[in-house]
Structure 1
Amino acid sequence: MTTLNDKVAVITGGNSGIGLAAATLFIEQGARVVLFGRNQTTLDEAVSKLGPRAVGVQGDVTNLDDLETLKDETSMRFGQIDILFANAGLGVFSPIENIDEASYDKQFDINVKGAFFTVQKLLPLLKNGSSVILTGSAVHEKGVATGSLYFATKAAVRSLSRTLASELAPKGIRVNTLSPGIVRTNFAENTNIASDDFEGFVGMVASQAPLQRPGTMQEIANAARFLASDESSYMTAADLVVDGGWMNV
Structure 2
Amino acid sequence: MGKLEGKVAVVTGGNSGIGLATAKRFVEEGAHVVITGRREKELKEAAAFIGRNVTTVTGDVTRLEDLDRLYAVVKEKHGHIDVLFANAGWGEVVPLEAATEAHFDKTFDLNVKGLFFTAQKALSLFKDGGSIILNSSVANVLGVPTFTVYAASKAAVRSFARGWTMELKDRNIRVNTVSPGPIETPALENAGLTPEQAKRAADQFVSQVPLGRRGKPEEIAAAVVFLASDESSYITGVDLAVDGGMAQV
Same fold (TM over 0.5): yes
1:161 equivalent in structure 2: 161
Deviation at 1:145, TM superposition (A): 1.4
SS at match of 1:85: strand
Task: Provide the secondary structure at the position in 2 that maps to 1:146.
Answer: coil
Displacement, 1:96? 1.1
How many Å apart are 1:195 and its aligned residue? 1.9
| Per-residue deviation, 1:52 | 3.1
Please say if 1:68 is aligned against 2:60. no
1: CA distance, partners of 2:235 / 2:32? 23
1:117-175 per-residue CA deviation (whole Å, 9 max, x = no partner) reads: 00001110110110000000011111121111111111111111111111111112100
What SS is found at the alignment partner of 2:152?
A: helix
RMSD of aligned alpha carbons: 0.9
Listed as ranges, the matches of 1:7-156 within 5 Å are 7-156=7-156
Unaligned stretches of 5+ in structure 1?
Answer: none
Runs of 4+ in 1 over 3 A off after TM superposition: none
Q: Percent identity?
A: 50
How many Å separate the matches in 2 of 1:179 and 1:58?
A: 26
Amino acid at match of 2:49: K
SS where residue 10 of structure 2 aligns? Answer: strand
Question: Cα offset for 1:196?
Answer: 1.6
1:176-210: CA deviation from partner (whole Å, max 9, x where unpaired): 00000000112134311222212212111211121
Amino acid at match of 1:191: A
Aligned pairs for 1:192-211 within 5 A: 192-211=192-211
Indicate the SS of the match to 2:127: strand
Task: Note if contact 1:16-1:186 (Cα within 8 Å) is conserved in structure 2.
Answer: no
Residues 33-70 of structure 1: CA deviation (Å, up to 9, x unaligned):
00010000000111122223000001001000000001
Alpha-carbon distance in structure 2 between the residues aligned to 1:60 and 1:174: 25
Unaligned runs of at least 5 residues, structure 2? none
Q: Contact conserved, 1:11 with 1:86, CA < 8 A, in 2?
A: yes
Partner of 1:248: 248
- Aligned pair count reads 249
Q: Which residue of 2 aligns with 1:181?
A: 181
TM-score, normalisation: structure 1: 0.98
